[in-house]
Amino acid sequence: MNKLKLYRVDVNYIKYLYSFDNKVQYNKEQKDEYTRKRPYLGVVLQVNEFEYFVPLEHPREAHQKMKDNIYILKIHNGKYGILGFNNMIPIKREELIEFNINNENKKYRQILISQYHFCNKHIKEIQERALKTYEKSTKNNFFKKICCDFKTLEEKSKDYCKSKCE
């Protein structure tokens, strides 16, 4: 099984998807730099020509109190953040930005390293949760409310790539 990698995603692509689905992880109250720095883990799911990446969320006290469930995976009981499968997005490779964890400040680097190691120890579980979340989001009303609209995002991803190439 291939190791999962951490990436960042082009902020213009994130903003584009957000304009069609406000469950995409974009905080319009923050500067774009905030979104530029958010790491994504991938590839967690392959659906037709789409590769899905899941956003990593920075540790918050609330994460430690959350219940683990199919669409959220707590990293070391939430101490190092969570993976939010309900917010995963389809991404074409050209929208990904590789980055070197070692270039981050010491505190953030430690968090990213812990997240990275955890994720690569739990690849199978991560991929299973991604698939289950994707499948349930098309059939279950509760999941439709809390998940990104994956089908719409797939179509919009195609449109974005077409418009960029023209």
- pLDDT at 73 (0 to 100): 94
Q: Is the pLDDT of residue 32 over 80?
A: no
Q: Is the pLDDT of residue 31 over 90?
A: no
- pLDDT at 1 (0 to 100): 66
Q: Which of 79, 57, 83, 81 is nearest to 70 (CA)?
A: 83
- pLDDT at 154 (0 to 100): 95
- pLDDT at 61 (0 to 100): 85
Q: How many helices (H) and strands (E) does the chain have?
A: 7, 7
- pLDDT at 166 (0 to 100): 60
**Count of other CB atoms within 10 angstroms of residue 126:** 22
Residues 6+ apart with CB under 8 A from 145: none
CATH of the domain spanning 5-165, picked from 3.10.129.130, 3.30.70.2860, 3.30.70.980, 3.30.70.2190: 3.10.129.130
Give CA angle at 93 (13, 8), nearest 5°: 60
91-143 pLDDT, tens per residue? 988 899 888 899 999 998 999 999 999 999 999 999 999 999 999 998 999 99
Q: How many CA atoms lie within 13 A of 57 on its CB side?
A: 25
> What does pTM read for this prediction?
0.88
